[in-house]
Structure 1
C-alpha cells in the first residue's frame, strides 16, 4: 500500500523490519547518501519519470539495530498521516534540479537564438547574393537582347536594301519582257502584210506570174520576220524563267525579312519586359523545352546566302536585259533594211484596172446600206419585245394573284379565261418577235460576212489589177513595229 504524499521508493514505505539493537550507538557515523537519479532532458522536453526528485532516491548504509537496548519499532517508523510542514519537505524536485533545469533552459534558448541569428544572417546574405545574381543575369540578358536586336536590325537593313534592288530589277525585267512580247506581237502585222502580199500576188494571171524581185524580197522579209519573232519569243521565255528565279529569291528575302520583323518584335517585347510589367506570368517547364533550330553562325549564314543568291539573280537579270536591248536594236535594223528593199522593189511594178474595182465598191456600198437597215430593224424589234414584256408581266401577275382566291372563289370565270388567253397570246407574240429578231441578227451576221468577203475580194482584185500601188504599197507605207522595237512609245 502506498501512503498519500509519499513515494514507493521512500525508506519508510517498505515492510516492517526488526532492528537488531534496542538503541542506536552514540558514536555511529551519519549514514552515507548515494545519488541514484540524474535528471537530464533536452531544453523544452521532459521524460516521463522526470517528476521523481533525487531526494527520494537515496540509499542508506545504516546497520540494522539489535533487539536489546534499541528503541521499539514505533520509535523508528514514521506516522501514517504526515503533518503539513513535513509534506512540504517531500516535493517533486530539489533545488539542484530546479537550478539545472533553468540552466538548461537558458542554454537551450541561447543556442536556439544563436542558431536563429546565424540562419537569419545566412538567409539575408543568400537573398542579397541571389538578388545580385538575378540582377546581373537580367542585365546580361538585356545586353544580349540589345545586341541581338542590333544584329537583327543590321540584317533587316541589308535584306531590305537587297529586296528593294531586286524589286527594281524585277520591274526592269518585266518591262523588257513586255517590250519583247509587244515587239514579237507587232511583227505579226508586217508579217501578215508580207504574207498577204505574197498571197495576193499569187492571184495574178498571165505574164504577171513571174518570180520577180518583189516576190524574192517578200519571201526574204517573211523569213526574216519569222526568225526575229522566234528569237524574241525565246529570249522572252528566258527572261520569264529568270523572273521566276528572281521571284523565288524575292520570296526568300521577304520571308526572311518577315521572320526578322517578327523576331525583332518579339525580342523588343522581351527587351522591354520588366519585373513590374503586367503581361508577365509563370510558364512552368518552359526552360526545359529547346525549340531552337539554328545557332548564330547558321542564322547569319542563312541571311547571307539569301542576299548572295539575290545578287546572283540580279547579275543574271542584268546580262539578260543587256542581251535583250542588243537583240532588239539589231533585229530592228535588219527588219527596217529589208522592209525598205521590198518597198523599193514594189515601186518598180505598178499597173491599174478599174472596172472590177468599181463594181466591187458599188456592191460593198449596197451591202453597207443593207447592214445599216438591218441594225435599225434589230433595234426596233428589241424595243417591240421590251414593250410586250410589261403586258405579259401584268397578265401573269393578275393570274398569280387570282390563284390565291379562297375555296370556291377559285372560279374559271370570264376574267380568268381572258387573262389566260391574254397571257398565251402575248407570249406567242413575244416568241414570234424573238424568232424574227434572231433571224434578223443572223441576216446581219450574214451581211457582215458578205461585207468582209466583198472587202477581201476587192482587196484581192485591187492587188491583182493594181499589183502594188492600190493594195500592197498602201499597206506598206509604214513599218508598225519599228517604234516598239527601238523602245519608244
Structure 2
C-alpha cells in the first residue's frame, strides 16, 4: 500500500494465460533487419511480388535479368512441400489482430486496477482524516466502553475455561475407564482361545464341531468386535482431548491477551493532559492493516467461545457414546460368556451320560464275555466227553468184525452200534459248529469291549478337557464393574 503523497509507479505485466504474440517494444533493439533471415532461408520471401526485386532503373541490367530468372525459378518451386514450410514461420493477419486485442485488454485491465486502487486510497485517506478529528473526550469514552467490553468477554472466557476444564477432566476419566475396560477384555479373549486350543486335544469321534465350539468361536468374535469398537472410541477420545486442550489453550491465550489489554487500556483511560509520561510519537497514528477491528475483535473471542462450546458438545456426546459402548460391550460379552458356560454344562452332562452308558455296556459286555468263555469251556468238555463213547462204539464194531463165518451177521446190535457211532459223530459235529460260533461271538464281544474301553478313554479325555481345563480357567472371567472400567 502506497503512503499518502507518494507517487505510484505503473507496472506492466504480460498475462500468463496469453497465447498471442508479445507486445511490440519501442526500443531500438526490437527492430531487426530481414537480411539474416534471407541469408538463412532464401525461400522466405517467395510470397513477395516480382516488383519487389525490380530495380528502379528502366534499362534492364544483367543483374536484374538474373534476379528475374531466379524469381521465376522460385515461383515455380514454391508449391513443393519442402518449400511450403517457409510460409508457416510467418505470422498471419489474425495473429496480428489478436495481439492488438490482447494489448488492449491488458491496458484496460491495468487502468481498472489503477482506478480501483485510486478509489480505495481515497476512501482510506478519508477514514484516516475522520479518525484524526476525534476529540480527547470521545476517545476517553470509547476507551471506557472498550474496558467494559473487555470485562464482559473476560467473564465469558473465564466461564468457558472453567467449563472446558471440567469437561476435559470428565472425558479423561471416561477415557481411563475405556482403557481399563479394553485391557480387561484381553483376559476373556485369551481364555476363549485357550478353551478352543484345549478342545483341539479331543480324540477321535469326540473331535466334533459341537455347540460349545460354535459358541466359543462366536465368543472370540464378540470380544474382538468389542475390542475394535473400544479402540475406535479410544482414538476418538484421544483426538477429542487434543481438540479440547487446543480450544482451552486458545481461550487461555485470549484471556491473557485481554488481561494485558485491560491493564493498558485502563492506564490510557486515566491519562490526562497533566499526566506524566506523555510525549510525541511520530508516525504512531498510522493505520496498521494487520490490526483487528472491533467486529473482528469481538468475533475472534466469540469464535473461540463457540469453538470451545462446539468441542465441549462433541466431547459430551462422545462421553455418552463411550458410556453406552461400555454398557453394551459388557452385556454382549457377559451374555456370550453365559451362553458358552451353558453349552459347556450341557456338553459335559451329555459326555458324562455317554460315559456312564458306555460303562454300563462295558460291564454287560464283560459279563457276556465271561459267560461265553464258560460256554466255550463247557463245549470243549462236552466234546471231550464224547470221545470215549465214540471210541467204545467204534471198538465194539471193530471187535464184532472178527466174528467167524456166518456169525458175521448184521444183526440188531450191529445196526444199533452203527447208529450209535453216527449219532455220536453228528453230536460232535454240531458241538464243534457251536464251539466255532461261540468263539466267533467271543471275538466280537472282545472287539466290542475294546471299542467301549476306547470310547470310555475318549469320553474321559473330553470330560477332563471340558470340565477340568476349560471350566476351571473360565472362572477368571472379569466381573461387570471391571468390564465397564470401574475396578
Give the TM interval when normalised to the shorter protein. Answer: 0.3 to 0.5
Q: Which has the larger Rg?
A: 1
State TM-score, norm by structure 2.
0.46
Give TM-score, length-normalised by structure 1: 0.45
The structure that is helix-richer by fraction is 2
Report 1 or 2 for greater relative contact order, CA contacts < 8 Å, sequence distance ≥ 6. 2
